[in-house]
Amino acid sequence: MLEYPYTAYYKQQQGYLGMEYFDARRKPHNVGKIIAALVLTTVCIFVLKQSPGFGGNSVFSRHEPGVTHVLVTGGAGYIGSHAALRLLKDNYRVTIVDNLSRGNMGAVKVLQGLFPQPGRLQFIFADLGDQKSVNKIFAENAFDAVMHFAAVAYVGESTLEPLRYYHNITSNTLLILEAMASHGVKTLIYSSTCATYGEPEKMPITEATPQFPINPYGKAKKMAEDIILDFSKSKGADMAVMILRYFNVIGSDPEGRLGEAPRPELREHGRISGACFDAALGVIPGLKVKGTDYPTADGTCIRDYIDVTDLVDAHVKALNKAEPRKVGIYNVGTGRGRSVNEFVDACKKATGVNIKIEYLSRRPGDYAEVYSDPTKINKELNWTAQYTDLKESLSVAWRWQKSHPHGYGPN
């Protein structure tokens, strides 16, 4: 007869226990040892249960008076890590969730080194496209607010992989909102983009400028905004929502603790500042300027460059001003447009390297001129860009790049 493995295991255990019983009768002192072991085990279990983090009793899993616990999605990325740093400096409790597909574990380790105290910072490796993982994270943590940065964010790449962008940006935002609704998290600070405006007829861009995005990145972000706005209007939502549409981000932490470190395979799609630094370091032979026939003064694109330190300051101010049943939408920029040629000149001065320039045709999905009118955010959030010297912002970022030629190293 075929014997099930469990039956065999049970017989084996019976034999083992029977042998112990026989030995116990022959050697009574063994009973004392067994009782002592059981007592010690019971004490150990009791102590463990009292310790933070056992059985879901972590400080991250409960609300505390005077402590605001913020979930920072994409907190291992360039902007997200700088936001986490600012929140931690301001005594917020922070949970970073990131799948490290674009972020850097090295940035998280820097933050962990700066804020090692229990209950300050935790990192969770997870994909926000996995509904079960997202629900588990919300079920096991007591969040007071969400700063949603996590997203793929390259205009050129979005034209090559549009479905990826709609999944990563729009669908993932929907999953975050569903989890927030299920677990009673009412405050959302959403990281959006000026790309939702497309190519406006008038400059500067105000929050009332019509949104007609012209690439999948901008379209996916606008869809996510629409979902957030529709949900915030629904009965019983009671959401406090802030949507920040920001412009071209540059710079890095002024104290040199964090910087921008895109993966090598993404450099082609990355920010112009990263390309400038790569050219200055000799990683690439020169800088490729895409498009010289735009209807601008020098033929190159005009953009509004916002320092990452100013950007995260806007996020913190938005968090502090967020109110239930209210939605705030703000442009985050300096209000001044700079051409790509101006940017390149500033980068040459910041690095001290005469970077070789190669002029190419336009990049798909790009627009000629984009810069903001920051009047609304100045007035309502008392926010004004402080780091507006282009060369200085690039100099700060360059110092980090020079001291980290390989970024944070492997994840």
Question: Residue 56: exposed, middle, or buried by beta-carbon count in 10 A (0-12, 13-18, 19+)?
Answer: exposed
Q: Return d(Cα 150, Cα 172) in angstroms, integer.
A: 9
Euclidean distance between CA atoms 286 and 355, whole angstroms: 6
**217 included as an active-site residue:** yes
CA 274, 293, 212, 207: dihedral to nearest 10 degrees? 70
CA distance 128 to 173: 8
Specify the DSSP element, H or E, that contains 318.
Answer: helix 308-321
How far is Cα 166 from Cα 342, in angstroms, rounded to an integer? 33
Which whole-number Å values give the CA distances from 16 to 9, 20, 23, 24, in the listed order?
Answer: 11, 6, 11, 12
Cα 383 to Cα 42, 323, 329, distances in angstroms: 56, 17, 13
Active-site position among 92, 217, 371, 387:
217
Contacts (Cβ under 8 Å, ≥6 apart) of 172: 128, 129, 150, 151
Q: How far apart are CA 107 and CA 207, in angstroms?
A: 33
d(CA 19, CA 30): 13
Assess contact for 284 and 272: CB atoms under 8 A.
no
First CA to last CA across the chain, in angstroms?
53
For residue 169, how many other CB atoms are within 10 A of its CB? 26
Residues 6 or more apart in contact with residue 73 via CB below 8 angstroms: 80, 97, 98, 128, 146, 147, 148, 149, 150, 176
Residues near 208 by beta carbon (within 8 Å), at least 6 away in sequence: none
Any idea which residue has 């949970």 for tokens?
A: 95
CA distance 245 to 196: 8
Where in the sequence numbering do the catalytic residues fall?
217
